[in-house]
Amino acid sequence: MNEMPANRPPPSTVSPIGAREAITGFLVYVERERRLSPHTVDAYRRDLASFAEFMDREVGEWAPDGVDRLHIRGWMRSLSQAGRSDNTIRRRLSALRALYKYLYRMEYTSSNPARAVRTPKRSSSLPEWLTRSQTSKMFDEIEEETRRLAAGVNSAEASSSAESTISRPAELQRATRDRAMVELFYSSGLRLSELHGLDRSDVDFEGGLVRVTGKGARQRIVPLGSPAARALKAYLSISASLPEQGSDGRRPLFTTTTGRRLSRRQIQRVVRRILASVSGAGSLSTHGLRHSFATHLLDEGADLIAVKELLGHASLSTTRVYTHTSRERLLEAYRKAHPRAE
């Protein structure tokens, strides 16, 4: 698709539109017509709300057709002063450009001022990941917690205490669920939004596969490792009494103890709590498990294109960052190839 010019003479057909109306119309467009994922739509909503709040504060009453590049540069400067990273500012500027591209096409504005603003350089910081020893320690601790809770439930049931019917089984269900989530993140390299959107029908235990809906509503099939499959089966067996389906007719894979789909924030809290118990991993989040998945594959000699497909990347350049993080692989190659490495 050809890029449209940054400016054009204001046509007589340009229709005035308010700022809130413009943003709402754009969000409806990307959700219903472009069919972007709910996660992407939410990101657009947050990024555009940031610009709208800046304009409300600095200008007061404003309309999209009255915005110029100085307004946008002032907004970006305020984001930088607030400690936002260059990557965050890049993403927010990209959202504003997408909004103005839509408004220009709909003839609500005569120009796209966001195109005239220089994009901040991409941050060169490398993703963080778990080492193999950290990964083993994490799963050992999760297994120990699950085993302890299961023993407590059996003991409480034997004594027929009231706690056995309420507290301990609920704790065991949560622990089993949390273990299955972490296993699946690491086993299949999923994004947070992808794991959040999984339904029970997306898991094929017989084939050892999971159907994932990624960015741009693109679907892909990823492998389900044996430990993850066992953890999922254990979780599903203990949560079999939950409702058959949600209000939308779907049956979420990961739920609360009442059967409601876990929110992304709830999933993040679970993973952060588990990682906080691993020495040196306290700063990692759900994406750290995805980074670990890719790095460990490359450490073992996996093909870069195969890793790209497993991660659901649209471009190979996005996957190449993991070749720089795989220190163990580089050291191993050095030890094997250099004549005086030992």
Which tokens in the block code for residue 283? Answer: 């700063």
Q: Which of the following is catalytic: 174, 220, 264, 313?
A: 313
* Annotation marks residue 338 as catalytic: no
Catalytic-labelled residue, pool 71, 261, 290, 296: 290
Does residue 215 carry a catalytic annotation?
yes
With a CB cutoff of 8 Å and minimum separation 6, the contacts of 8 are 110, 111
Q: Is 313 a catalytic residue?
A: yes
d(CA 91, CA 7): 23
* Catalytic residue status for 287: yes
Please enumerate in sequence order all residues whose Cβ is within 8 A of that of 268, keeping only pairs 6 or more positions apart, or say none: 192, 285, 286
From the candidates 168, 191, 291, 329, give the one annotated as an active-site residue.
Answer: 191
Which of 44, 104, 186, 322 is labelled catalytic?
A: 322
User: Encoding tokens for residue 221?
Assistant: 């099939």
CA distance 18 to 66: 10
Question: Which residues does 188 contact at the CB level (< 8 Å), separation at least 6?
Answer: 210, 212, 222, 223, 224, 225, 228, 293, 310
Exposure string (b/e) for 67-77, b if CB count within 10 Å is 16 or more?
beeebbeebbe
Catalytic, 269? Answer no
Q: Is 101 an active-site residue?
A: no
Catalytic residue, chosen from 101, 220, 260, 287, is: 287
Out of 200, 211, 215, 230, pick the active-site residue: 215
Closest by alpha carbon to 180, among 148, 225, 221?
A: 225
Q: Element (H or E) spanning 82, and its range?
A: none
- Provide the annotated active-site residues: 191, 215, 287, 290, 313, 322
